[in-house]
Each structure stands twice: as structure tokens, then as C-alpha cells.
């Protein structure tokens, strides 16, 4: 995340994430699932502008039609958590410029929540460290903590236990974001835990060593099969990506975004051009070329 002051406001740029590995180990007594995941932040950003007001209320405006701006939104929940925890009575006006697709497996909502915590820590001079803000974030959602410890990390627990990783080399990715999204709860609800657990150690070692060919062979997402059953468009785009001979192709998170791991930036542009040129009439899927933020 990047933060700057703009007069009386604080502006935060906050990235999307991609899961290069995601295994579901078991269902926990608290209803969540125990996970093991390799996550990286990528160069696709939302922007939040936060400004203190005298209204005593949190108000959120957003340029994305269809996104709730009420108390269920993670930005509003993050702001209310900060106000309650630190006894802040001031109101807040938030303007969210949404570029990360919703219900896409890219953690846009979690990233926005993290940006809100970071921005308010600066706006109200709360003096909280990244670790303390990450702990607050864990109260809001499983992926929020990652954004305080990225840009690359091995995440366990329900996703909130974050171990930062060193980065071996730049990663160039092609994202395909279908017009339809997927509910995280719906995908987990359709998951059947069967078969052997896949060990993520190989993916982690390849990532840290910068061995992109081996990493491509180690890509894994336990949620991909149930997501494809719920949304066949995910499988369609994964098949299209594989036709272009990437190092590997996978779905991110709980979907619906599919991505290809490219050999380098030129290879990523090649695949993106082929997808755009061959895109079916009427398809509203977004094709994006991104680089892991840790390597920018």
C-alpha cells in the first residue's frame, strides 16, 4: 500500500492479491477452514481518499455500481472498528475508486479494509504499527492481515497468520476476470474435502528461488474444482489460457479470476493480445497484464 497526504485528506493506493498456491486442510470447529496459501500483491489498485468530518458518521461513496456502501461494506466496518477501539468521535468521508473487480478472488474488499485502517492510523495519528494494524484487520476478514505484511507471504490459519517471504524474481501474470463473480461462502460451501492434501513446500521454495518454471508446475488451488462447477466460465477461461502455453494457469482465491504465469513481461503481453483478439463477441471478461508488486 502507498499513502500520501493531500491537503486535509489521506489517499491510499491498495493492491489486489493473487494466490499462487491454496490448499484447504480441514474444516475448523469455529466454522472456518484451515488454509495454507502463497499470496502475492500485484499491480492492480483501488484508491481511497479519507477525510475527517464533523458529522460523527462514516459515509462511503464509490464509483462502482452495485457495491454496497452501507454498514456491511468492509471499508465502513474498518472505520467503525477504529473509531470504537480508539474512542474517535469524528466523522469520516471516504471516496473509493474501484479498479479491483468484485467477487473475483483478488481480495479487493480486504485490501480496501486494510487501506482504511492504514489511512485512519495516519489521519488520526493513532501511532499503530503494521503488526498492530494487521491484528485489527484479522477481526474484519481472513485476507486483511496480508496487506500489512506483503508483498508476498505464506498464509496459514484461516489466512490471518502471515509469514512474509523473500522474492526470487519478478512475476508477470495475465489475469482474466469474467463478467460474473463468485461468493466465497458459496465456493467453500460446494467444497468436498477428499483426496490427499497437496504440500505447498515445493511452490514456496520455487517462488523464493525465482524458479518460475518450477513454480508454474506447482500452482494449485483446492477451490478451483467447486468454483468451476458453480461457474463454468472459470473453466472456459482456464482452458483458453492453457492453449497459449503459459508456465502454468490457475484460478485465484475463490474465483472467478483465472490467471496465467508468464515467462516474462513480453510473454504476458503476447498472451493478453491473443486473448483480446480471440475474445468471443459479447464477452465482458477483462484481460489484464500485471506484475507482482514486490518486483516493481
Q: Which of 17, 112, 172, 267 is catalytic?
A: 17
Active site residue 277: no
Pairing of strands 9-27, 220-221: parallel
Q: Which residues lie below 8 Å from residue 109, measured CB to CB, with a gap of 6+?
A: 73, 74, 102, 141
Distances (CA, A) of 152 to 75, 87, 251, 289: 23, 33, 18, 18
Taking residue 276's Cβ as centre, other Cβ atoms within 10 Å add up to 10
Strand, helix or coil at 32? Answer: coil
Active site residue 72: no
The Cα–Cα gap between 22 and 106 comes to 13
Nearest C-alpha neighbor of 51 from the set 149, 150, 124:
124
The alpha carbon of residue 241 and the mean position of all alpha carbons in its chain are separated, in whole angstroms, by 20
Q: Which of 46, 143, 172, 267 is catalytic?
A: 143
Residues with active-site annotation:
17, 143
Amino acid at each position: 500500500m502507498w499513502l500520501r497526504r493531500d491537503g486535509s485528506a489521506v489517499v491510499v493506493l491498495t493492491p489486489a492479491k493473487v494466490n499462487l498456491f491454496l490448499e484447504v486442510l480441514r474444516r475448523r470447529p469455529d466454522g472456518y477452514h484451515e488454509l495454507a496459501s502463497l499470496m502475492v500483491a500485484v499491480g492492480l489498485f483501488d484508491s481511497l481518499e479519507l477525510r475527517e468530518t464533523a458529522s460523527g458518521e462514516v459515509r462511503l461513496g464509490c464509483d462502482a455500481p452495485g457495491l454496497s456502501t452501507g454498514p456491511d461494506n468492509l471499508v465502513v466496518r474498518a472505520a467503525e472498528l477504529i473509531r470504537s477501539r480508539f474512542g474517535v468521535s469524528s466523522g469520516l468521508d471516504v471516496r473509493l475508486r474501484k479498479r479491483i473487480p468484485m467477487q473475483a478472488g483478488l481480495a479487493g474488499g480486504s485490501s480496501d479494509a486494510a487501506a482504511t485502517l492504514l489511512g485512519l492510523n495516519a489521519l488520526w495519528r493513532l501511532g499503530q504499527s503494521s503488526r498492530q494494524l494487521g491484528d485489527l484487520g484479522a477481526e474484519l476478514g481472513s485476507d486483511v492481515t496480508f496487506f500489512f505484511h506483503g508483498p508476498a507471504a505464506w498464509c496459514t490459519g484461516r489466512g490471518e497468520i502471515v509469514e512474509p517471504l523473500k522474492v526470487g524474481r519478478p512475476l508477470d501474470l495475465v489475469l482474466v476476470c469474467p463478467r460474473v463473480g463468485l461468493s466465497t461462502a458459496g465456493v467453500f460451501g460446494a467444497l468436498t474435502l477428499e483426496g490427499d492434501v497437496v504440500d505447498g513446500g515445493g511452490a514456496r521454495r520455487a517462488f523464493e528461488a525465482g524458479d518460475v518454471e518450477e513454480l508454474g508446475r506447482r500452482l494449485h488451488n483446492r477451490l478451483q474444482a467447486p468454483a468451476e462447477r458453480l461457474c463454468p466460465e472459470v473453466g472456459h477461461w482456464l482452458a483458453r489460457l492453457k492453449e497459449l502455453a503459459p508456465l502454468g494457469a490457475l484460478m485465484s482465491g475463490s474465483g472467478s479470476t483465472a490467471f496465467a504465469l508468464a515467462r516474462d513481461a513480453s510473454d504476458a503481453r503476447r498472451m493478453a493480445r491473443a486473448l483480446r483478439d480471440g475474445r468471443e463477441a459479447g464477452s465482458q471478461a477483462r484481460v489484464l497484464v500485471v506484475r507482482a508488486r514486490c518486483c516493481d
